[in-house]
Amino acid sequence: MSKLLQIKTSLFANQGHSSQLADAFIAAWQVSHPDAEIVTRDFAVDPVPHLDGAGFQAFLTQPEQRTPEQQAKVAYSDALIEELKAADMLVIGLPMYNLGVPSMLKSYFDHIARAGITFRYTETGPQGLLAGKKAYILATRGGRYAGTAFDTQTDYVRNFLGFIGIADVEFVYAEGLNMGDESRAAGLNAAHDELARITA
């Protein structure tokens, strides 16, 4: 049985366009995978704390030397990592905020980037340890940025996922959503058409 991890990063939970596109993808995907297990992590409902110095130091401290507070921080990170490890597919709803990714997605990435657990350094450079997974990114933008210097998301997300071993990453874009009703409809229709192609 396959397992899919959905991550909603919108501030507006299920009301966000990125969350709705991700939900549409999963509904279509489940038609051909009715026995799949779906796990959803919604940052608007369950926020990911920003990684601070104390948290990072907890990662570096040997398990037998950790304080209870440090162990709690590590346990939170471990739970996020185990959830991702268990998934065969990752689906991220990704709105663009101020030309970047939502801050809690960056926080999530900071919590799951653990040397020796999700990646390791070798003589030839870093090696991701979570290979064999597929990721779909449902990216929504108020303007039209794909393929321009203003698109800071695509390379960042693709590079980070590749860094931890998830190299098979596909983006679906819904752009121009804040450029009038006609533009919004066209952007969403194009994204849904792409989702239909992917899940056919």
pLDDT of residue 200: 85
Whether the model pTM is above 0.85: yes
pLDDT of residue 1: 65
Two structure tokens written together for 134: 């597929």
Report DSSP state, residue 97: B
**pLDDT class of 23 with cuts at 50, 70, 90:** very high
Mean pLDDT (whole number) for 171-196: 97
**Backbone torsion region of residue 7, taken as left when φ is above 0, otherwise alpha when ψ lies between -120 and 50, otherwise beta:** beta
